[in-house]
Amino acid sequence: MRSLRFAAFGDPEQVLHLDEIPKPTPGPGQALIRMRVRPINPSDVLTIAGLYGAHRELPSTPGYEGMGVVESVGDGVTGWAPGRRVIPWTDSGTWQEWVVAEAQRLLPVPDSVPDSSAAQFVVNPLTAWVMIVEDLQVPPGGWLLQTAAGSTLGRVALQIAKERGIKTINVVRRRAQVEEIRALGGDEVICTEDEELVSLVDEITQGEGVRWAIDAVSGQTGSDVSRTLAIGGVMLVYGVLSFAPITLDPSQLLFKASTVRGFWLSRWFQQTPREHQRSTMATVMNLMASGKIVPPVDSEYDLADFKEAVHRAQSPGLRGKILLTG
């Protein structure tokens, strides 16, 4: 079978290669999944570069999520008929034609959810939901500030906010993104290309600041967002797109009792009881099935065209996720 693999950490365009390896066989309690669609996420690129929070043993196949169909099952597995569309939770890497996953870690995909949406279920919709609804618990009518609003997660966050009556302040880097984010339902949009973030947030919130913020950029943008926090405000850092550190003002933390902390979905999976995980995932999947959450797609590439796909995934101006098919 075709499998994208890397034997050294580095630039994905340089270290990735397409190999032919034996097709796996499911063991007891497992299912063999023929993968159809796999997204390219920043976490995948960071993993290949050796910069992610969890290192893989080399050689390795990247990919933390995707969608496929059940081809066969091992001994003791019931309820998963061949042809059933599923999302596998597996650490074996999804950027290949077949993967083996524990049957108890398969998530069924409703008929109304397209392959392209199901493939993106975990990293963006689930992350956005857990941050906004479960962690920050932003109430209807509250202001949520988000950076990287034009990203896939940013666009999904807008959909969640609309569904729950949350107002959003959306930070983008390029002027060309402003009207697009407004058209998607963003209440306020700040462009750091030519606008000053802190003063505009102060104006929008009438001097109160924001109680809830999520940041994927870090660096100067993340530092500025931390300065906009209201008394008791909380900022979750879930990305490092700028690869630069955040500078915190100690007086902000001291006199406003604000909080800046990280969020990593992998940690949520490690610390959250399995039943609660399943309940949360069912809620998010139902929103996708009803069309209230639709992760955007920029373009699709066959596995053989991985260099073009990875290059596009790291280019500015994306309107959605890059997907690997085949």
Active-site entry in 52, 64, 238, 301: 52
Chain-centre distance of CA 258, in angstroms? 25
Task: Report the candidate in 194, 198, 147 with the shortest Cα–Cα distance to residue 168.
Answer: 147
Residue 227 zone, left/alpha/beta (φ > 0; ψ -120 to 50; rest) = alpha
The per-residue pLDDT for 55 is: 75
Q: What is the pLDDT of residue 89?
A: 83
* Secondary structure class of 59 (helix, strand, coil): coil
56 has pLDDT over 90 = no
Active-site annotation holds for 64: no
Per-residue pLDDT of 243-265, as tens digits, reads 999 999 999 899 999 999 999 99
Q: Does the pLDDT of residue 317 top 90, yes or no?
A: no
Q: Are residues 9 and 57 in the same domain?
A: yes
Tens digits of residue pLDDT in 174-202: 999 999 999 999 999 999 999 999 999 99
Residues 131 and 262 in one domain: yes
Return the percentage of the chain with pLDDT > 70, whole number: 100
Whether residues 209 and 315 fall in one domain: no
**Domain match, 220 and 185 both:** yes
Quick check: 129 pLDDT over 80? yes
* Cα–Cα distance, 11 to 24 (Å, whole number): 28
312-319: average pLDDT: 90
Does 250 lie in the same domain as 135? yes
- Structural domain range at position 256: 124-266
Number of domains in the chain: 2
Q: Could you give the C-alpha distances from 16 to 6, 44, 159, 302, 304, in angstroms and in order?
A: 5, 12, 34, 14, 11
Q: What is the pLDDT of residue 53?
A: 78
pLDDT in tens, 65-109: 999 999 999 999 999 999 999 999 877 799 999 999 999 999 999
pTM given for the model: 0.94
pLDDT score recorded for residue 5: 97
Asked whether residue 23 falls in the same domain as residue 106, the answer is: yes
